[in-house]
Amino acid sequence: MLFACIGLSGCASLRFKPTRESRFINMDAEVLRAEYGQEKRTETLANGLVCTFDSKVRLHLPDKKRIVLYQTLAGSGVCYRSKDKRYEFHEKGPYCILRHQGTTLFEGVYFRK
């Protein structure tokens, strides 16, 4: 019964099937793990333009917290945002930055283990 309720509640983390994974490291040697998956969705911008995206990412933060973000429009690189728009994860080349309500939580580079 509990699993049925969780499954129907729309918990994105439980339905996440990763297709690839990356790790990033910061200057304090903290590691952020990113798992990438697929989920087709559309977003209507303020100017009425409708964009279709098919990617999402689940981040495993150094403090053990997990968050799921969805691909959104980016000027360069790739950008993901949480549904409530509080978190933003931006990747460009080997670099990444994670922000929560405009405050930088993590900034690092690709880490090959």
pTM: 0.81
Residue 6 located in a structural domain: no
> By residue range, what is the domain housing residue 77?
17-110
Secondary structure element (H or E) that encloses residue 33, with its range: strand 31-44
Residue 4 located in a structural domain: no
Q: What's the confidence (pLDDT) of residue 7?
A: 41
Residue 77 located in a structural domain: yes
Other Cβ atoms less than 10 A from the Cβ of 9: the count is: 8
Residue 93 located in a structural domain: yes
* CATH code, 62: 2.40.128
Residue 5 located in a structural domain: no
Q: What's the confidence (pLDDT) of residue 91?
A: 97
- The mean pLDDT values, 10 residues at a time, for the chain of 113 residues are 40 68 96 94 88 93 94 92 95 97 96 82
Residue 8 located in a structural domain: no
Residue 80 located in a structural domain: yes
Number of domains present in the structure of the chain: 1
CB burial of residue 78 (10 Å; 0-12, 13-18, 19+): middle
